[in-house]
Chain A
Amino acid sequence: MEKRAIFDNKLLPYALLLPQILITLVFFYWPASQAVWQSFLIEDAFGTSSEFVWLDNYRDLLSKPDYYASMLTTAWFSAVVTFLAMAIALLLASMANKQISGRNAYRTLLVWPYAVAPALAGVLWLFMLQPSLGVLSKLLRANGVDWNPLLNSNHALIMVVLAATWKQISYNFLFFLAGLQAIPRSVIEAAAIDGARPMRRFWTIIFPLLSPTTFYLLVVNIVYVFFETFGIIDAMTSGGPARTTTTLVYKVYQDGKLGGDLGGSAAQSVILMAIVIGLTAIQFRFVERRVNY
């Protein structure tokens, strides 16, 4: 006897898939193809006519030094935020994984920032770091630091990094904690009996066993810094001062929305899209091969 449900109606499966397909079409393929199409066009200043120019937008883009500056900013920004957010989260997760009292309250507190929208996180940190009124700025000033993120680009970068890192730690923390809990306790105990001190245990046993989680988070964090920090940057610095916090995604917005260069902006989106597709492809390949063991 066949136990599986059999649909006589050949159309039913497609009908059931339809909402999913529609959503993907409307919210991904449609805008994506629009962006690709747009990136081949130049519009006149009034948006009344457009001309098909093949790759001119790309050529234009790649010949401008400020695009490379933005790329560098993004690379730097994502490297620092990813490293900090992951390192701090791993440290916190290792501590939370120990048998300590009040562990549950500690975990809950650590997870909260994740529920905060990026723009809100930006505003929150902005309040604290606002040059004249912010709590932290006052503290810095009292200690002789002339804190002014509105004028000093290093200060602005530090501020954005802080907010972006703070926001992402919870997410990483959750995954690291789950990863740590998946490591059998007896393996770590065996290492302890085998004479490995806690630090050596961490680097020779725990860290290698966490590598699938670490790799997954690496990709997710890079993608996060590339895209989701938009809200933080917009709320805190609007890309300034002097464009020093203009990441690639913020530049798309600046050039397209504020600068009116739709074609150039679309070309940038397409490049960004290619980067993400590349990252995701790498991730899938490695996840399939199950990193390390």
Chain B
Amino acid sequence: MASVTLDHLKKIYPGGVEAVKDVSLTVPDGSFTVLLGPSGCGKSTLLRMIAGLEGISSGTATIGERIVNEIEPAERDIAMVFQNYALYPHMSVYDNMAYGLRNRKVPEADIAARVNEAAKILSIESFLKRKPRELSGGQRQRVAMGRAIVRDPQVFLFDEPLSNLDAKLRVQMRLEIRRLHNRLKATSIFVTHDQVEAMTLADQVVVMNAGRVEQVGAPLAIYSRPASRFVAEFIGAPPMNLLRGTITAPGVVSIKDGLRLPFDQSAFDAGIGQTVDYGVRPEDVAITDMPAANGATEPSHSMTVDLIEELGSNRVIYGLLAGSGFALVTRTGIASADRVAFVLDPSSAHLFDGESGMSLRHAV
């Protein structure tokens, strides 16, 4: 096993596209790190640079103790699982898994032992003799995993390996990959644009945007303390509500139309007069009865309901608040189908600088 360290890594493609701009990152030994970001943000490029499939324009990549910039993929002691699995179509499942070992001149008896062991872990023993085209998508996926684990590499790289599977199988394979990691404890770097995959698999999530790292942290930290507006919007479904406003008093952001929203002044580095984006997650919004009905003492807000998404366990209510879209999640039903009242807890508010989009929260 080994850690992976990237130091000011850059990638400029021959056409001039700057796909990765100055990424520095440490993947600790034995961690499961997920690179997460929207399509085209440079995740695959970054992974392929670690694998040695793309040249590094500047900066250094280190695997274990070795700087690998000039080292061939074969010599980096890594294994990669591709999105389309990239199995060798003319070889049987057994030969697919044995190929890397044969290239390294491992004795056939050892190969057989290792392939059989991996096949057992992944429950693909019964189709070792088949060709890839005779397998279902999920089975191919397992073979691709098997091909990686027989090699017992220092680092596993995954480029969206689950995105070609149907929803149910994806959930199942996700669990299996995590179980496998718990068992093998191999350093893994996993690329995805699916935030649920990232949250469920990762020890460490790296959120990327336009070739840069936006935030690195544990899944929960990223969810509860997003470092930027981008991360706040990208993580969480439905996405965080964001409203542009100005701080008019300690702990108060004034949006237009006299709407005033509360935040915990002690948690943020924000002064009066500053333009900010006020953020609150739909699941942090607490629904209450309509003010007229109970004469509530808490300051509550209300909005007209535009659309209700029924999800079974809960429902998402969409409406307009001070002219911008606003969503909230509730487990209970709502009294009226056209207006809904809610309260905002100051401690669950997020504030982002209106210009830079960076979080204004104090560092802890």
Contacts and interface: CB of A to CB of B under 8 A. Distances in A.
Interface of A: 99, 184, 186-187, 189-197, 200, 204-205, 208-209, 211, 292-293
Interface in B124-144: 131, 133
A130 to B, nearest CB: 46
Contacts of A191: 88, 99
Contact of B89 (A187, A195, A197, A200): A187
Most buried by B among A184, A190, A208: A190
Most buried by B among A99, A186, A292: A186
Contacts of B82: 186, 189-190
A196 B75 CA distance: 10
Contacts of A186: 82-84, 86
Contacts of B86: 184, 186-187, 189-190
B38 interface: no
A208 B74 CA distance: 21
Interface of B: 14, 51-53, 72-74, 78-80, 82-84, 86-90, 99-100, 103-104, 131, 133, 147, 151
Contacts of B73: 189, 192-193
Contact of B90 (A99, A197, A293): A293
Given A189-B82, A194-B74, A211-B90, 14 more contacts: A189-B73, A189-B86, A190-B80, A190-B86, A191-B99, A192-B53, A193-B52, A193-B79, A195-B103, A196-B74, A196-B103, A293-B89, A293-B131, A293-B133
Contacts of A209: 89-90
A184 B100 CA distance: 18
Nearest to B48: A189
Given A192-B53, A194-B100, A195-B103, A205 B88 contact: yes
Contacts of B14: 99
A186 B53 CA distance: 10
Contacts of A189: 51, 53, 73, 80, 82, 86
Contacts of A197: 74
A290 to B, nearest CB: 10
A210 to B, nearest CB: 10
Contact of A193 (B78, B83, B87, B88): B78
B48 to A, nearest CB: 8
Closest 4 A/B residue pairs (Cβ): A194-B100, A186-B86, A195-B103, A293-B90
Contacts of B87: 187, 190
Given A184-B86, A193-B74, A293-B90, A200 B80 contact: no
6 contacts: A189-B82, A194-B100, A194-B147, A195-B103, A208-B90, A293-B89
B80 A193 contact: yes
Most buried by A among B79, B80, B90: B90
A195 B74 contact: yes
Contacts, number: 64
B63 to A, nearest CB: 13
A167 to B, nearest CB: 32
B290 to A, nearest CB: 54
Nearest to B103: A195
Contacts of A99: 14
A194 B72 CA distance: 11
A187 B90 CA distance: 11
Contacts of A194: 74, 99-100, 103, 147, 151
Contacts of B80: 189-190, 193
Contacts of A195: 74, 100, 103-104
A191 to B, nearest CB: 7
Given A191-B88, A193-B73, A193-B78, A200 B53 contact: no
Contacts of A204: 99
A195 to B, nearest CB: 4
Given A193-B74, A194-B103, A196-B103, A184 B90 contact: no
B45 to A, nearest CB: 14
Nearest to B82: A186
Nearest to A205: B88
A193 B53 CA distance: 9
Contacts of A292: 90
Given A186-B82, A293-B131, A193 B51 contact: yes
A209 B132 CA distance: 14
Contacts of B72: 192
Contacts of B88: 187, 190-191, 205
A249 to B, nearest CB: 37
B186 to A, nearest CB: 15
Contacts of B100: 193-195
Contacts of A200: 103
Contacts of A192: 53, 72-74
B68 to A, nearest CB: 13
A196 B89 CA distance: 16
A215 to B, nearest CB: 14
Contacts of A205: 88
A187 B85 CA distance: 8
B35 to A, nearest CB: 18
B293 to A, nearest CB: 57
Nearest to A209: B90
Contacts of B104: 195
Nearest to B98: A194
Contacts of A193: 51-53, 73-74, 78-80, 100
A190 B103 CA distance: 12
Nearest to A193: B73
Nearest to A293: B90
Nearest to B95: A204
A184 B87 CA distance: 10
A199 to B, nearest CB: 12
